[in-house]
Structure 1
Amino acid sequence: MDRKSLESLFNRIGEVKCLVMGDLMLDEYLWGKTERISPEAPVQVVDVLREELRLGGAGNVVNSLRALGAQVTVCSVVGQDANGEVLLSALGRQAAGTEAVFRDPGRRTSRKTRVVASNQQIVRIDRESRTPLPKDVEEQVCAWIAAHAGEFGVILLSDYNKGVLTQRVIEAAVAAAAKAAVPVLVDPKGADFARYHGATILTPNRKEAETASGMAIHDMDSLSRAAESIMETAGLEHLLITRSEEGMSLFTRHGTAVHIPTVAREVFDVSGAGDTVLATLAVGMASGLTMAEAAGLANVAAGIAVGKLGTSTVAPGEIINAVALGHHDSESKIKNRDVLPAIIEAEKANGKRIVFTNGCFDLLHAGHVKYLQKARRLGDILVLGLNSDASVRRLKGPKRPLIDEDERAHILAALDCIDYVVIFDEDTPLELITALKPHILAKGGDYTADGVVGKDVVEAYGGRVELVSFVDGKSTTNIIERVLERYSGN
């Protein structure tokens, strides 16, 4: 997505209503410094300089959604204790709806205390309940979700395996969502992903996916096998596996896997990164993005989150700025043909589908732009082979081109739909096609498939030719003729 599209998305995100279900907890941080060893035992003494209390667990998903600008209601269970009161107050400060946060006198509200010194976490202290909900409280939760699921644009299940998301609660949520045609996104836990059967998408990390599938993931083949096993077991249409520094992989039951490379950043803390992924994926889907677009947005957000210490949220401005940095100036897209094959191989290794087209593109007009936009939608990366000046003269005559090759290359590279531009001097792009081996060879609809140069080469390794229609009446020749007609008498 480009900057303008993201700005529009975040401008309307306040209309998105999200329901978060799962295990709420408090994350307490004690920040300090260590300069001495205790005389009582061989341990460091931490002088606490600052204390911070945050919403954790499913509460961090709430934080992430609110930071993005979405409306949030929470459905969960906390104890009838002081920490429960603190937690409800924290949700209130986030303007999150708490009418479905039920109180259980026999439950201990989860609180995790992290001691951090010199930007390093020294110890974590957990005080929590892990037992499943009692039947009467479980019934309250199931009844509420059955009555209210249709009020939301998306439902998120944040499972920390602390007992709130029992099998009955999950089934009730999935059934109510299906009846209301609301997507259900799950950040899963444990080895049995079948318990989330019927959810729209699961977002496990690599380790969780290995545990659930019973397969070690060490390459793309094993990743695909593990994904297939999980999707079959859980009855999923979609699965997003986060793979740390290797990015994310989106699998669709009847589609091609999309592998999204990570954004290179220094990693300080991965705490809460999964919550960021879940929240951003949810708002993207609820805002009308495709699953692949929403996953790409989540990948950007996760890259920002891991660059912060603690379970930090990500703001829309940070995502917009990060995406804007990825749109380089036009010169960076123009590549020499001796370096482009290696670049394209790297793109293929990241799961990108390569589209190639070529032409003179002298006097760029709307017909050219619409053609290139259509070609770009055929895959993930569009490579444009641009005829050199000498090549154009041989094809079009001694008076062409009107615009020299360097100017044409920069104008074309400024288009968002074009990822790489390479100038070639031959009459046809056959050598270039042979070197790049694109998945898809696109050519104008005025050609026949058999007349496309490079068709045999591309089809020999399993690629295909796509004919893309032109806009009628739009051509450089027509523009030249109109100019001559209007100005020849002056």
Structure 2
Amino acid sequence: MTDNLIKSSIKAFKDKKKPIFTDPKNKNVEVYKGSNFICPNLKEFYEFFEYQKLQFNNNSILKLLKKTNTDAFIVTKGSKGITVLLRNNKKIEIPQEDVNVYDVTGAGDTFISIFSYMLSKNIDLVNSLKIASLACIKVVQKKHTAVLSFTEFQKIIEEFCENKYLDIDLKIILWKLVKLKIGVTNGCFDVLHSGHLHLLSDAKKKCDKLIVLLNSDSSIRKIKGKNRPMIKLGKRISLLKMIKGVDGVEVFEEKTPEKIITKILPDILFKGSDYKAKELAGYKTIKDSGGTVKIIKKLKNFSSTQLIGQR
């Protein structure tokens, strides 16, 4: 691709207000002026400074960022990770796990395509880069020129979302991107018992990811009176997260989870058989969005209210 073609392509995309990601092969970085992100490998990055006859230092980096009017240089460094150099003089280091590399062919294309795709789906910069890096790890372990299959990408996202510190809202966005079936159920879960475990276990068999929508303490008081809950919110969250098959917990303050169901738009809404499907909060929202409602037969003689009353 000639310099003029690169420049005219960048202008065309900018005119249409489209984000621009460049994988530079020209030593003259000014050819890529106007790109939102310029993504060289370490060798290509050093060549920018050699071509401009600049010493490699922080002032020169800022000078090139200004010359190119780019948001950031995204410098890939193989097993040493990724360095992000931003126009505000901020630097972000993203480490990469050490892996056995079979063939690096196609890694650059995989990186920039996954990175740009994730940003286009409103995933933040750092997490977009981390996911793109994981995709590259998968590709470099393959023979010759290789592509990332959708199943492999799905697995990458699943493993990435196992990070307990990752925000549940971000996990939901990522799960939806890779078409994992999301199910939700809701309740107070005040004094966990066999009936709860039965519901959660059965629900998990019917979806890929199960989210529990949990009444806050104030929400429970509105429904069950001032003496409830018996177990405070923090402990209820901790106990639910210990249960195998629970992939996330979201808390709601209202009497019903209607609002939070509308926000998540899960594929399936689960509830115990002491409720009728059409009476459930969120029923219409789920049906209108193409989802399903599944009633799970509950265990007899198990409810928090009954167990508390027997104390």
Identify the residue that residue 117 of structure 2 maps to in structure 1: 283
What are the residue-to-residue correspondences of 1:71-110 with 2, within 5 Å? none
Amino acid in structure 1 at the alignment position of 2:87: R
Deviation at 1:290, TM superposition (A): 3.8
Q: Percent identity?
A: 18
Identify the residue that residue 378 of structure 1 maps to in structure 2: none
Identify the residue that residue 44 of structure 2 maps to in structure 1: 208
- Quote the Cα distance in structure 1 between the aligned partners of 2:236 and 2:121: 43
Q: What is the TM-score with the length of structure 2 in the denominator?
A: 0.51
Give 1:236's match in structure 2, choosing from 62, 70, 84.
70
| 8 A Cα contact 1:194 1:233, kept in partner | yes
Amino acid in structure 2 at the alignment position of 1:198: G
2:105 is aligned with 1:271: yes
- Quote the Cα distance in structure 1 between the aligned partners of 2:249 and 2:232: 23
Change (3 A) 1:407 1:180: closer
Give 2:242's match in structure 1, choosing from 379, 401, 410.
410
Identify the residue that residue 188 of structure 1 maps to in structure 2: 24
Secondary structure in 2 matching 1:188: coil
Amino acid in structure 1 at the alignment position of 2:5: V
Q: Deviations over 1:305-336 (max 9, x none)?
A: 11123222212211221332345598xx9xxx
Change (3 A) 1:196 1:322: same
| 8 A Cα contact 2:62 2:89, kept in partner | no
Change (3 A) 1:299 1:367: farther
Amino acid in structure 2 at the alignment position of 1:410: M
Identify the residue that residue 462 of structure 1 maps to in structure 2: none
Deviation at 1:411, TM superposition (A): 5.0
Deviation at 1:245, TM superposition (A): 0.5
What are the residue-to-residue correspondences of 1:7-406 with 2, within 5 Å? 164-166=1-3, 168-213=4-49, 227-254=61-88, 257-328=91-162, 365-367=214-216
Secondary structure in 2 matching 1:365: strand
Q: Deviations over 1:211-248 (max 9, x none)?
A: 2135888xxxx6x7665343223110132111110222
Q: Deviations over 1:3-39 (max 9, x none)?
A: xxxxxxxxxxxxxxxxxxxxxxxxxxxxxxxxxxxxx
Q: How much is the aligned-residue C-alpha RMSD, in angstroms?
A: 4.5
- Quote the Cα distance in structure 2 between the aligned partners of 1:471 and 1:324: 29
Q: Flag the structure with larger Rg.
A: 1
Structure 2 gaps of 5+ residues are 166-188, 192-212, 218-229, 257-303
- Quote the Cα distance in structure 2 between the aligned partners of 1:259 and 1:417: 30
- Quote the Cα distance in structure 2 between the aligned partners of 1:417 and 1:226: 47
Q: What is the TM-score with the length of structure 1 in the denominator?
A: 0.34
- Quote the Cα distance in structure 1 between the aligned partners of 2:249 and 2:67: 38
Deviation at 1:401, TM superposition (A): 7.5
Identify the residue that residue 284 of structure 2 maps to in structure 1: none
Identify the residue that residue 141 of structure 1 maps to in structure 2: none
Change (3 A) 1:204 1:366: farther
Deviation at 1:171, TM superposition (A): 2.1
Change (3 A) 1:227 1:180: same
Change (3 A) 1:197 1:317: same
Q: Deviations over 1:392-447 (max 9, x none)?
A: xxxxxxx87896998467259965589xxxxxxxxxxxxxxxxxxxxxxxxxxxxx
Structure 1 gaps of 5+ residues are 1-163, 334-360, 369-398, 419-468, 475-482
More helix per residue: 1 or 2?
2
- Quote the Cα distance in structure 2 between the aligned partners of 1:405 and 1:287: 29
- Quote the Cα distance in structure 1 between the aligned partners of 2:114 and 2:48: 24
Secondary structure in 2 matching 1:301: helix
Change (3 A) 1:171 1:303: same
More strand per residue: 1 or 2?
1
Deviation at 1:277, TM superposition (A): 1.2
Amino acid in structure 2 at the alignment position of 1:260: I
- Quote the Cα distance in structure 1 between the aligned partners of 2:249 and 2:91: 21
Change (3 A) 1:489 1:185: closer
- Quote the Cα distance in structure 2 between the aligned partners of 1:271 and 1:174: 26
